[in-house]
A and B are shown apart, each in its own frame.
Chain A
């Protein structure tokens, strides 16, 4: 069974801090994704990666960057956290771009 692990369930950070959200998958999947989920807005894609060191912007990349140095690990970076980045962040992976996604349990980030 695919396991996608996000390192933190809850995080509280201050405005202006640099924040790292980590995600690891154990199934050798090529593709990894970062979404944020907000009430009434659904899931929105921030970034995705289809190979090591490869990345593409999603629908809302502003204020975020990503890193994929190893196939199993995909990191989301908030360079300077702001209160409007308070949200639930979900990482996902997939074997190919035409099959289902496997999600982690999410990280609820609060920026004060």
Chain B
């Protein structure tokens, strides 16, 4: 059974700092890995999707990498801003019906 772990559970950084969020998974037989953002009391917003054949994806200040062999993904956020404060979740799996979510990293970017 796939297990997804995100460490740390919470992180606080000052504005402007670059930061890395980690996601690890136990079964490397995956089709893709996705990163989502969730604001308090809201649904999830898709940030990046990496197919299993890819090593990384970039969108603006966000860069996600995937290393299937080691069961790891990282989400790199450059020049963090207070608006980046949210919970970040990774999800791995095959078809969407088999997505397994981590419990998330709660990020706070302070002024």
Contact = CB atoms under 8 A, between A and B. Distances in A.
Q: Considering residues B4, B31, B95, which has the most beta carbons from chain A within 10 angstroms of its beta carbon?
A: B95
B43 A105 contact: yes
Instruction: Give the interface residue-count category, chain B.
Output: 20 to 34
A41 B103 contact: yes
A100 B49 contact: yes
B34 A100 contact: yes
15 contacts: A4-B43, A33-B96, A40-B103, A42-B101, A42-B102, A42-B103, A45-B97, A98-B32, A99-B49, A100-B46, A101-B44, A102-B46, A103-B36, A105-B43, A106-B41
Interface of A: 4, 31, 33, 40-43, 45, 48, 50, 56, 58, 90, 92, 94, 96-106, 108
A94 B101 contact: no
B43 A106 contact: yes
